[in-house]
Amino acid sequence: MPTPQPIPIVSTSEKPNWGIIIFLIVFHAGAIAALFFFSWKAIAVAFVLNWMALCFGIGMSYHRLLTHRSYKVPKPIEYFLAVCATLALEGGPIFWVATHRVHHQFADKPGDPHSPHEGGWWAHVGWIMVGESKHSNTAMMAKFAPDLARDPIYRFINKWHYMPTVIIGLALFAGGGWPMLLWPIFFRICVGLHSTWLVNSATHMWGSRRFDTRDDSTNSWWVALLTFGEGWHNNHHAHPVSARHGLAWYELDITWLHILLLKKLGIAKNVKTVTANTRLPERAAAA
């Protein structure tokens, strides 16, 4: 395993995090088991939950709204989207936002929590498999996400981020047995995790570059398809505050289409966008 720079928010130790490792083994085993309990109904529920978790949640909430403040929505909608994001089981909003802000501050340089410079495996999943988990350490993460740490609702969601998945999983199992547990929970979460992790790994190793940013970020159409538009990562690193990541007409960005709909309905305000011809900010191009 590579030796990354110490990142207090992620790990200060190279010791295996057996809690995370066991979680990953169990969920991947459950994802494989789902193949032996085929159900179109369960697959349909998994599809809907994946849309809620990755599009409404990770893309619209954790990433573009809470991390970069690319737009504004009323607080009840903001909190609802954050709860959707917890269904991805990628940690609470304060943890996720803090980690991603650190990534942008040190992208592909010492201090980046998950740079492929430490290896593709490290960038994809290895970085969460070592050291002590910080998912609920609000005090430590407040340094990087003070805006969220001041909000008691986000502190509550951050502490109990896994409970919506537990509640939904128990309800699905009670109503539909093993297929309704294995597909919408185990299989769906594994697909979502790997899809999101590909943004950390694949879109910093392979793909095209529209902007000459100071990091190795790339645009990847297939990662964008898996993540509802998050794969246009070079566009994003060039213009982090833009709510729109797919800047060309052919760059499908489903998350942006949802935000655009909210804007047209008068729900989303102060929506920040750029175009493919927008010049790169000096700080993004600087060495």
DSSP states along 17-86: -HHHHHHHHHHHHHHHHHTTS--HHHHHHHHHHHIIIIIIIIIIIIIIIIIT---B--HHHHHHHHHHHH
How many other β-carbons are positioned within 10 Å of the β-carbon of residue 3? Answer: 8
Within a domain: residue 215?
yes
Number of compact structural domains in the chain: 1
Residue 210 lies in a domain: yes
How would residue 135 be classed by pLDDT, with cut points 50, 70 and 90?
A: low
pLDDT at position 123 is 94
- Is 208 inside any structural domain? yes
Specify if 6 maps to a domain.
Answer: no
CA-closest candidate to residue 45, choices 36, 29, 34: 34
Between 143 and 28, name the one with better pLDDT.
28
pLDDT of residue 280: 75
CA distance from start to end of the chain: 28
140-181 pLDDT, tens digit each: 788 899 999 999 999 999 999 999 999 999 999 999 999 999
186 part of a folded domain: yes
Q: What is the pTM of this model?
A: 0.91
Q: Does residue 5 belong to any structural domain of this protein?
A: no
Residue with more model confidence, 263 or 275: 263
Q: Is 13 a domain residue?
A: no
Q: How far apart are CA 285 and CA 266, in angstroms?
A: 34
> Cα 47 vs. chain centroid, distance in angstroms?
17
Tell me which residue range forms the domain holding 81: 18-285
Pick the closest to residue 275 from 214, 210, 219 (CA basis): 210
Q: What's the residue count for the chain?
A: 287
Confidence of residue 3 (pLDDT cuts 50, 70, 90): very low
CB-based contacts of 22: which residues, under 8 Å, 6+ apart? none
Q: What average pLDDT does range 269-282 have in this prediction?
A: 86
Mean pLDDT of the chain: 92
